[in-house]
Amino acid sequence: MFRRRFRKPDDEIGPAQSFLRIAVLAHIAAAVLVTTALSPVRAQTPASPDARPLELAQKMTGEWVGVCEQSTDGQQAEDKYFHAIIKQTGPNTLEGKFSYFKAHPATGEPVDIGDATAAISIEPDGTIKNNVSGTGVVMVEKKPKPETHQLAEILTMTEAGALSGRITGKISVDGLPFGLGKNGQVSDGSSTWTLKDDVLTINQTMTAGFRILFYKKTFTIAANSTARRGSDVAALTKASRLAAKPGCSASGS
């Protein structure tokens, strides 16, 4: 007959065997810890924010004087001139104040025709938000009309180093029949800001739509501004008057 072999209970195992079992378990535990420690940890590193938009915005700070060429539905309006002061108000915020003028037909002195304030913020992802509110003059059906506007620009950095994006908002134009110019909506707008060789250019195009009952009227407005650093807007307006005279140039020759 076969004898059944029974496993001894743990309390009957000898001291040498107990020590051996503990040593084996300790070895296995140590191997697991070493393997875990040597395993590569694939922690996701957050993407660094794009610093270029803030750097470009900071380079735009200071005083500027320039000219704005504006048209409505392709019809050219009288050039207007502006003095702008852009300053940084916080780590990621800026403020711009623009004063607009036309040249007095007799003296060339600047005549105030409007102003605008821009509140600029740079988001963590590099997007620039620019909220603009102001007043001015817009050419409608061959006549200059007073206007007020609240616009919102959302701009991102292009590969060429410019800021480009879209414009939305509201615009109201006085002097249109039946109050048509109230509560106009701005759509299909685009905006590009460029700073190169210390010359600031702002090119904007937008469609302004007005509606009364079943009647709707739309205008396409384009504004192209070019500015250089400075504060003497009168020098620009007077030079434009000289240039407009037959046989004269901006230098007076």
Residue 15's CB is within 10 A of a number of other CB atoms, namely 7
For 96-120, the pLDDT digits (tens) are 999 999 999 999 999 999 999 999 9
Q: CA-based angle 138:144:146, to the nearest 5?
A: 60
Cα angle value 100/101/107 (rounded, 5°) = 165
**Residue 22 forms part of a structural domain:** no
Instruction: Decide if 138 is inside a domain.
Output: yes
Residue 3 lies in a domain: no
* 195, part of any domain: yes
Range(s) of the domain holding residue 131 = 52-244
Dump pLDDT digits (tens) for 49-90: 688 999 999 999 999 999 999 999 999 999 999 999 999 999
Distant-in-sequence, close-in-space partners of 144: CB < 8 Å, separation ≥ 6? 77, 78, 137, 138
Report if residue 32 sits inside a domain.
Answer: no
3-state SS of 16-66 is HHHHHHHHHHHHHHHHHHHHHHHCCCCCCCCCCCCCHHHHHHHHCCEEEEE
Question: Is the residue at 31 inside a domain?
Answer: no
Q: State which amino acid sits at residue 200.
A: L
23 in a structural domain: no
pLDDT tens by residue, 123-165: 999 999 999 999 999 888 788 899 999 999 999 999 999 999 9
**Rounded distance between C-alpha atoms, residue 164 and residue 195, angstroms:** 12
Q: What CATH number does residue 126 fall under?
A: 2.40.128.20
How many domains in the chain?
Answer: 1
Rounded Cα–Cα distance for residues 187 and 220 (Å): 10
- Give the integer Cα–Cα distance in Å for 22 and 34: 18
Report if residue 205 sits inside a domain. Answer: yes
DSSP structural state of residue 235: H
